Amino acid sequence: MTNNLLKGKRGIIFGALNDMSIAWKVAERAVEEGAIITLTNTPVAVRMGTTEELGKKVNAQIIPADATNVADLENVFIKSQEILGGKIDFVLHSIGMSPNVRKKRTYDDLDYDMLQTTLDVSALSFHKMIQVAKKMDAISDGGSIVALSYVAAQRTFFGYNDMADAKSLLESIARSFGYIYGREKNVRINTISQSPTLTTAGSGVKGMDDLMDFSDRMAPLGNASADECANYCIVMFSDLTKKVTMQNLFHDGGFSSMGMSLRAMNQYSEGLEKFKNKDGKIIYG
């Protein structure tokens, strides 16, 4: 179904790796809604992933860039404006990566060089892309910038590790830059806090299947899918949300407002046997 919500708009989508990526779904929906877009991801991801397939499907050129590299980001905004024929109306930041999570370093045994990388890739890249865009005046008046976040920015979740700190920083950048860019150019900056979703990045989170089951039982509307997240992004890019800025918008079926649900309680009452060690003590991880 299309409502031409993005008719005539130009966008840049960061982070489509494969057809499970949330960014992939957003790219497809944005084009369905009438936008023209460019795609960008790391040179390695472009080589190894299937971004080219998406490019063909949505008629979008791919501009390889490491989102932690300012020169690369400048190139993305210069080229995108050339290719698309004008200033950019919307940007999606759909980027996350933690070497500590990948290497299974726990939060009380973080490698600090890896932590720097987590923060740089998953949060500072958001600041960098906004600063680059603003200095180049590459975003049109009333444009919209969205990054994807997770509720671990506000509440502690087992296994989310240093990505929780990165998401807190990401959401803070949306507020701090949202003030400045809104005041000067009417540009909106928001984060969408998405349900756990089975993607390449998502599957790196410890206990992802159980986490997804838990949040699905807790949320009155159940987990939000990647397709549903894409729909929300489209609304945020559209002219229907012109006065929404500096917000962290939960897209999680109601999970973040719940304390305990009947469905989760029922599961809990089935017992904790499987979480006990040989001495009968519950292992909390």
Ligand X SMILES: NC(=O)c1ccc[n+]([C@@H]2O[C@H](COP(=O)([O-])OP(=O)(O)OC[C@H]3O[C@@H](n4cnc5c(N)ncnc54)[C@H](O)[C@@H]3O)[C@@H](O)[C@H]2O)c1
- Contact set with ligand X (CB under 6 A): 15, 17, 21-23, 41-42, 45, 66-68, 94-97, 121, 148-150, 194, 196-197, 199-202
Distance CA 6, CA 213 (A): 34
Tokens of 130: 């906004």
Question: Is the Cβ of residue 187 or residue 201 nearer to ligand X in the bound state?
Answer: 201
Looking only at the bridges linking them, the beta strands covering 248-251 and 10-14 are: unpaired
If the CB atoms of residues 15 and 143 are measured against ligand X, the closer one turns out to be: 15
185/206 with CB nearer ligand X: 206
Q: How far is the CB of 57 from ligand X (least distance, A)?
A: 16
If the CB atoms of residues 36 and 230 are measured against ligand X, the closer one turns out to be 230
User: How far apart, in whole angstroms, are the C-alpha atoms of residue 134 and residue 115?
Assistant: 27
Give the residue ranges of DSSP H helices in the chain: 22-32, 43-48, 51-58, 70-84, 99-102, 112-119, 125-135, 163-185, 208-218, 226-237, 262-268
Q: How far is the CB of 217 from ligand X (least distance, A)?
A: 16
Instruction: Tell me the closest approach of the beta carbon of residue 153 to ligand X, in angstroms.
Output: 10
Contact 21, 93 (CB under 8 A): no
Q: Shortest gap between Cβ of 9 and ligand X (angstroms)?
A: 21
